[in-house]
Structure formats: C-alpha cells, structure tokens
C-alpha cells in the first residue's frame, strides 16, 4: 500500500517513470505478502507520525488505513 502511495505521489509530481516503477513494485509486493502488507503499512504509519506531525504526513497516515479497509483507524487519524 505504501508503494502504491509513493507511486501516486511520484505521478502527481510528474515523475511518471518513477510512478510506474513504484506501481509495479506495489503489485509485486501485494501479491507476495497479501495480509502482511496491511500490517507493515500500520507500522510505517506509526513510524512516520513519530518523525513528523506535518499536514502531509497526517493526510497520508489517515489514507493508509482507509486503503487497508480499517475505517475506524482512518477516522481516528483524520
């Protein structure tokens, strides 16, 4: 999921080659890990929030659990 978000960020900033690579890696990772990806995303969200409470970090921290279908966690972070 985080690789997918990285792909979105790269695409948004015009780095389309990077976006394609991140997207490819996101798909491969999800296929390999299945549910492990969701657990890792939660750990990374917490690590990111420990490093910064900036608006962009908070925004992506709330999106991560939403993508993982954890609505209550997403609402709490939002």
The whole-number pLDDT of residue 40 equals 72
Q: How confident is the model at residue 68 (pLDDT cuts 50, 70, 90)?
A: low
The residue ranking higher by pLDDT, 49 or 42, is: 49
pLDDT beyond 80 at 21: yes
Contacts of residue 73, Cβ cutoff 8 Å, sequence gap at least 6: 42, 65
Instruction: Report residue 37's pLDDT band, with 50, 70 and 90 as the boundaries.
Output: low
- Cα-based angle 19, 25, 29 (whole degrees, multiple of 5): 145
Rounded average pLDDT over 13-35 = 78
The per-residue pLDDT of the chain, averaged, comes to 75
Using CA atoms, how far residue 72 sits from 4, 7, 9, 21, 25, in Å, is: 21, 25, 24, 31, 28
User: Chain-centre distance of CA 8, in angstroms?
Assistant: 9
Neighbours of 28 (CB within 10 A): 11
Mean pLDDT, rounded, for 65-73: 65
CB proximity list for 41: less than 8 A, separation 6 or greater: 1, 2, 64, 65, 67, 68
């Amino acid at each position: 999921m985080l690789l997918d978000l990285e792909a979105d960020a790269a695409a948004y900033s015009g780095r389309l080659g990077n976006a394609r690579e991140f997207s490819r890696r996101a798909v491969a990772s999800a296929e390999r890990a299945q549910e492990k990806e969701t657990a890792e995303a939660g750990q990374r969200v917490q690590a990111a929030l420990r490093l910064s409470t900036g608006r962009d970090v908070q925004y992506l921290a709330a999106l991560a659990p939403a993508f993982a279908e954890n609505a209550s966690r997403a609402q709490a972070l939002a």
